[in-house]
Amino acid sequence: MTFCEEVRKETDFYWEGSFEHPFVKGLVGGTLPIEKFKFYMMQDAYYLKHYTKVLAIAASKAITNEDIAYFLETARHINEAELELHRTVFHELGVTDQELETFEPAPAAYNYVSHMYNTAHNGDVAEAFAAMFPCPWLYQEIGEKYKDAKPGVKLYEEWITMYSDPDYKEKIELQKSMMNRFAKEQPEKVSLLKSHFKKSCYYEWKFWEMPWTLEDWKGEVVNYEYI
């Protein structure tokens, strides 16, 4: 099996957890409370802002001109296209200037971004990509799995359409080939690459749990019953 086939099989527990998470099921079924989606979108904008920076770090560590160009172009695309979409969605969700000014990343978002920065700064381009790749790949599989869903909520339908687009799947296939190439070039690092990848799969699941519970920095501590 290729690296991607192996790591996908080994992390399937986390992928199935994402497919069946009540946030995802609520989104595709049209029952997700809009406030939870708003919370998710604001955290996702924070995540994507830093994802572009991690891509730039990966570009600085890439060896070939083709890889450098790919990472920089992907960073530009996310910054200009996806963040612009968030700005449009923010308007539809009624996100206020005050909410943006006082925004604070939830623990899951902060920890996920920190994981990617740590991997990118302390590792090479293969390690950085292993930490980044679960996000787009998972979203493509969610889009494919639920492409026929009709939630009846405009924002939810647009979200599904974005990630079920055939062009998006082509991008993921290209990224799979890149990840397989990186792993093949450094067979001694396969276990480390899988470790980075697995952590990101876990944080992807946490990214659904975060808006579902409206996670903050006090909730779990406040609710803990000291004996």
Active site residues: 135, 204
Nearest C-alpha neighbor of 207 from the set 151, 115, 149, 135: 135
Asked if residues 142 and 15 have their Cβ atoms less than 8 Å apart, the reply is: no
Question: Contact 216/105 with Cβ under 8 angstroms?
Answer: no
Q: What is the DSSP string of 31-92?
A: -S-HHHHHHHHHHHHHHHHHHHHHHHHHHHH--SHHHHHHHHHHHHHIIIIIHHHHHHHHHH
State whether the Cα torsion 202-204-208-214 is positive or negative: positive
| The residue to which tokens 């996000």 are assigned | 135
User: What whole-number distance in Å separates Cα of residue 145 and Cα of residue 150?
Assistant: 13
